[in-house]
Amino acid sequence: MSRNDLRSQSLDLLRFPLAVVVLVIHIFNTEGFTIQGNTISLENMPILLEVNRFIDGFLRGQSVPIYFFISGFVFFLGIELTREKYFQKLKNRLKTLLIPYIIWNIVDVLILLTLFLPCFSSLVPNLYKVRLDFSLPAILQTFWNAAEGIFVRPLTIVEAVGSSIYPQYIPLWFVRDLMIVVLCTPLLYWLLRRTRHYLVGILGILWFTLAYWDLGHINQLLTAFFFFMWGAYMSVNKKDMMHEFYRFFKSSMILYPLLALLFVASVHYWPAASDTIKRLNVFVGLFFAYNAASWLLRHGVCKVSPFLAASSFFVYVTHELICSILLKLLFLIFRPATDLGLLFLYLFTVVFTVVFLLLVFYLLRRYSPSFLKVIAGRK
């Protein structure tokens, strides 16, 4: 296998596991979940709470930065960004990003509106405290900042994430910010050609240091711009990713799990340091993920599944519609009294959601590829 093939396959190998990681962190939440107006807290479930903290340390916050990096690398791979090429890229991103973004936000809105039917009143009693606003500004804000959208008290986790802003369908904040970065690529390309790694370094410093202030959407955009530009820098300057990342193979294999464990410990003993440790862990996580993928391929432990790689965006963009409902339904059915019982429900929800979405993706790909291409931006 050539170095270019190994580089490409390493990136493809990462796509599906990263989507599953997002699914896992959206299910395993240390805040618990709300059902029939009651919050199921994990404070009295020490085993499940500790499992969630380990997941926070090893997985939370890792996938989206790597997706931004891959997007930046692929966007500039093997091209000179001329005016014609830029508009060609925009046309392609219109199909792969904007159209699915609009569709799935609308789907989430329609699902929430359906829950206003009387038959669901016992399941979501707090829904009737929500006031609907169908003014044009509110409708438009629904696709940008749900806190000011159709649902005046939106059924989102806005309260739990500071002043960061999210569209109505929360996982799509990644797509929204990626589209913003793509629109800026002519300027970014011009800057990269003149500043080389210095621009990436400045963005990295800002991403790391400004995290200590709650700057809302600015913090989210810094994540998008830094990791996208890091990947773009590798492409524009024709850097050998295999060589650049492999130099840090041993250190990333040691530092990543060490920082994850330090984060878990800091939650208990030094909460003030947890944000710093997590930022370092996310940064090292990119090296760890790519080096792990390339090692697995080089040693024949696994190989890329074109089906799983192709399904990654579909799993990412649809999982939130399934997993939270399934978890609550299973809880109502089995009513687990222990944290081990609830842990089993969490694990089953992860497995079932992944298998179900892969089955749906397979059926759509086989029997309705045109429809799949519209809703997922790809076949």
Would the pLDDT of 156 be above 80?
Answer: no
pTM tops 0.85: yes
Would the pLDDT of 159 be above 50?
Answer: no
Would the pLDDT of 232 be above 80?
Answer: yes
CB atoms within 10 A of CB 87: 10
Is the Cβ–Cβ distance between 327 and 52 less than 8 Å? no
pLDDT at residue number 117: 75
Q: Output 254 or 48, whichever has higher pLDDT.
A: 254
pLDDT at residue number 252: 96
Would the pLDDT of 289 be above 90?
Answer: yes
Alpha-helical runs (H) found in 126-195: 136-142, 173-183, 185-195
24-49 mean pLDDT: 71
Give the lowest-confidence range in 1-15, 57-71, 231-245.
Answer: 1-15
Using 50, 70 and 90 to split pLDDT, how confident is the model at 113? confident
What amino acid is encoded at 182 in this protein? V
Q: What is the pLDDT of residues 354-368, one digit of tens each?
A: 999 999 999 999 999
pLDDT at residue number 268: 83
41-67 mean pLDDT: 85
Q: Output 295 or 340, whichever has higher pLDDT.
A: 295
Would the pLDDT of 155 be above 70?
Answer: no
Q: Output 162 or 332, whichever has higher pLDDT.
A: 332
Q: DSSP string spanning 96-137?
A: IIIHHHHHHHHHHHHHHHHTTSGGGTTT-GGGGGPPB--SHH
177-200 mean pLDDT: 93
Share of the chain above pLDDT 90, in %: 58
User: Mean of the per-residue pLDDT values for the chain?
Assistant: 87
Give the lowest-confidence range in 78-92, 110-124, 130-144.
Answer: 110-124
CB atoms within 10 A of CB 45: 20
pLDDT at residue number 201: 95
What SS3 state is found at 329?
helix
Taking the C-alpha atoms of residue 354 and residue 340, their distance in angstroms, rounded to an integer, is: 21
